[in-house]
Chain A
Amino acid sequence: MTGLLEIKEKIKNIYGKFDVYLNPLFKFILALGVFSIINGNIGYMERLNRLTLTLVFSLICCIFPVNVMILLSGIVILLHLYALSLEVAVVACILFLLIALLYFRFAPRDGIYTVLTPLCLHFNLGPVMPMAVGLTGKAYSVISVVCGTVVWFFLDGVKQNGPALSSSSEDAAITSKFTAILNQLMGNKEMYLVIFAFVLVTAIVLLIRNLSIDYAWTAAIIIGSLVNFIVLFAGYVLLEISGKIVGLVIGSLLSLAVALVLEFFLFNLDYSRTERVQFEDDEYYYYVKAVPKMYVAVKEKQVKTFNSKNGKKTARKRTSGY
C-alpha cells in the first residue's frame, strides 16, 4: 500500500508541476480518441476520415474548453451522417439541438460527462460513468450521462443499419426512413433499460457515499456495481436480448476496477486512525468524526558524499516515508 501511495504522491506532484502542459495533452488524447472512434464507426464521409484532419481537430480541442470538443464532434457526426443519408442527418441534428436546448442551457459545464459516456459505452465500460457522477458530481449531472447514452445508442443503431438507411437504398419512402431512424431511439428498449440502470446506480452511489459510515465510497462502488449488474441482467432476460451477458460481466468487473482506481486517487482515507470528539458551545453540542487522509509524508534526508580529492560534499535528497 505504501508503494502505491508513493506512486500516487509522485503522480500528484508531477501533475501539479506540469498541469499547464498536461491538461491540454489529456484533452488532445481525449479528442483524438473521440474523433478516431467517430471516424472508425460511422466514417461515411471519406474526406473527414483523414488522419491529418483528425489531428487538426484534436489540436483545436486541446486549446479550447471541452464544449468546443462537443461542438466539433457534433459537426463531424452530422457530416458523416449527411454522407450516409439526409434523413439520418436531420434526425441527428434535431436530437443534438434538443439536448443543447433542454439540458446544456442549464449545465454547460457537464459536457465532459456527455463526451465520456459514449466513449465508455464503446469500450464496454458504461457503468463507470454513473458511478463517477455519483462519486464526484452532483445529482443532476446524471442527465448529461443520459444524453451521452442516448447519443451512443442512436449512433450504434445507425451503424448497425447503415446499408438500409443509406441514400442509395431508394426502395423505401422518405417517411419510412424517418420512422426507421427514429425507431432507433423511441423503440430501443435496451436504451431505456440502460438509462434506467444508470440513473438508479447514480442515485444509489450518491446516497451511500454521503452516508457517515466507514468505507462509504467503497461500499457505494460495490453496491452500485452490483445494482447495475442485477438490473441489466434481469432486463436482458426479461426483454429477451441475447448475447449481452458475457459483455455485461466483463464490463461490470472492469468498471468496478476503474471506479476503485478513481476512489484511490480521489478519496483515500485511513479509517484506523479515526478520531471521535465531542464538544459544545452556547447553541450546539457537537459530535465530530474526523477521518485522516492516507498520505505519504515527504521528508528531507541528508545524503553525505565523501570525495577524497575535493573534500566533503553534502547533498539534500527528497525521499518518501509513510
Chain B
Amino acid sequence: MLNQERVCEMTRLAIFDRNKGQECRPMIQYFRKDYIAKEMLKSLITGTIAFGLLAVMLLLYYYEDLAEEMSSIDIRQTAVRGILCYAVCMGIYFLITYIVYYIRYAKGRHEVKKYYMHLKKVNRLYQEEEQI
C-alpha cells in the first residue's frame, strides 16, 4: 500500500530536483571560496571579452576622429589609460560577481539543507515501513 506521507515527501524532492537541482549542484560540490573563485575565473574571461568588444565598438564609432588625430596621439599614455580603464571595469565586474554568487551560494546552501531534511524524512519513513 502507498505511504501517502512518503509520496508527498518524494514529490517535494522531485520538484526540487527538476526546478533547482541543476542550480544547487555546485553548492554541494564546492566550498564557498572555491565556488566564488570559479565564478571569478569565468568573469575574468567573459569580462575581458566584453571589454574587448566594447573597445572595438568605441574604436569603430570614433574611428574618423581618431584617424584625424593619429599623429598627435601619445600611444604610451593611451595604452596606460586603456589598461587603467580595463582594471576599473574588471574591478566593478568582479565586485558584482562576488556579491551575486555570494548571495546565490548562501541561498543555495539553505535550499540544499532543506532538501537533505526531506531526504532524511523519506529514509526514516522507508525504515519504518520495513520494520512493519
Contact = CB atoms under 8 A, between A and B. Distances in A.
A98 B61 contact: no
A102 B48 CA distance: 10
A273 B42 CA distance: 52
Nearest to A90: B60
A175 B57 CA distance: 11
Pick the most buried of B49, B53, B60: most chain A CB atoms within 10 A of its CB. Answer: B60
B57 A94 contact: yes
B61 A182 contact: yes
Chain A, interface residues (CB within 8 Å), range: 10 to 19
Given A175-B64, A178-B63, A91 B46 contact: no
B50 interface: yes
Given A98-B54, A105-B42, A106-B100, A175 B60 contact: yes
Chain B, interface residues (CB within 8 Å), range: 10 to 19
A101 B60 contact: no
A182 B60 CA distance: 8
B57 A91 contact: yes
A210 interface: no
B56 A94 contact: yes
Given A97-B49, A101-B46, A101-B49, A175 B54 contact: no
Contacts of A212: none
Pick the most buried of A101, A105, A175, A178: most chain B CB atoms within 10 A of its CB. Answer: A101
Contacts of B46: 101-102, 105
Contacts, number: 43
A106 B39 CA distance: 10
Contact of A175 (B42, B53, B63, B93): B63
Contacts of B53: 94, 97-98, 101
A1 to B, nearest CB: 34
A179 B54 contact: no
Contacts of A105: 42-43, 46
Given A94-B56, A106-B100, A101 B50 contact: yes
A193 B92 CA distance: 25
A245 interface: no
Contacts of A182: 57, 60-61
Interface in B23-69: 42-43, 46-47, 49-50, 53-54, 56-57, 60-61, 63-64, 67
Contact of B61 (A97, A101, A102, A179): A179
A310 interface: no
9 contacts: A91-B57, A94-B57, A98-B54, A102-B93, A175-B63, A178-B63, A179-B60, A179-B63, A182-B60
Interface of B: 42-43, 46-47, 49-50, 53-54, 56-57, 60-61, 63-64, 67, 93, 96-97, 100
Given A175-B64, A175-B67, A179-B64, 8 more contacts: A94-B57, A97-B50, A102-B50, A102-B93, A105-B42, A175-B60, A175-B63, A176-B64
Interface of A: 91, 94, 97-98, 101-102, 105-106, 175-176, 178-179, 182-183, 186
